[in-house]
Amino acid sequence: MHSRSRLIFVVLVVAQVAHSIEEYLTHLYEILAPARVISSLFSDDLAVGFVIFNSIVITIGLWCYFGPVRSGQSSAAVVAWVWAIIEFANGIGHMVLSVLARGYFSGAISGAVLLCTSVLLAFSLRADANRSNALASHVA
């Protein structure tokens, strides 16, 4: 995985941190049923459950970065692709909810950042794969 992709990956994790904060400040756990359900799995206090869940997500993102992604393990590209796809879906979901709400919906601002950053990561990972394929065919 190229250093550019590793950098974009960590930016995507930081964008998720900002996204979690925006959702918390705008009480997503009170207004969106799936967020309410997930939050309730961790605590009877939805705000606390939301923080716990998002802390887990962020911890996993940081582990992925400091583990396979940063160290360049063979699983790094797969991990990065999974994050790119999840965050793309997350960003799209918030955009759709904003359209349906005909205005701002909790998490929409940072959701747009997630969407753009995930697309950027996908393009970078694709370029990495193309570069690796070109090197492999040149060596062979």
Q: How far apart are CA 112 and CA 92, in angstroms?
A: 8
Retrieve residue 101's tokens: 């709400």
- Please, which pLDDT band fits residue 138 given cuts at 50, 70 and 90? low
pLDDT in tens, 7-27: 999 999 999 999 999 999 999
Sequence ranges of the domains in the chain: 3-139
CB 38 within 8 A of CB 110: no
Burial, 26: exposed, middle or buried (Cβ in 10 Å; 0-12, 13-18, 19+)?
middle
- For the question of whether the overall pTM of this predicted structure is more than 0.75, the answer is yes
pLDDT in tens, 57-115: 999 999 999 999 999 898 999 999 999 999 999 999 999 999 999 999 999 999 999 99
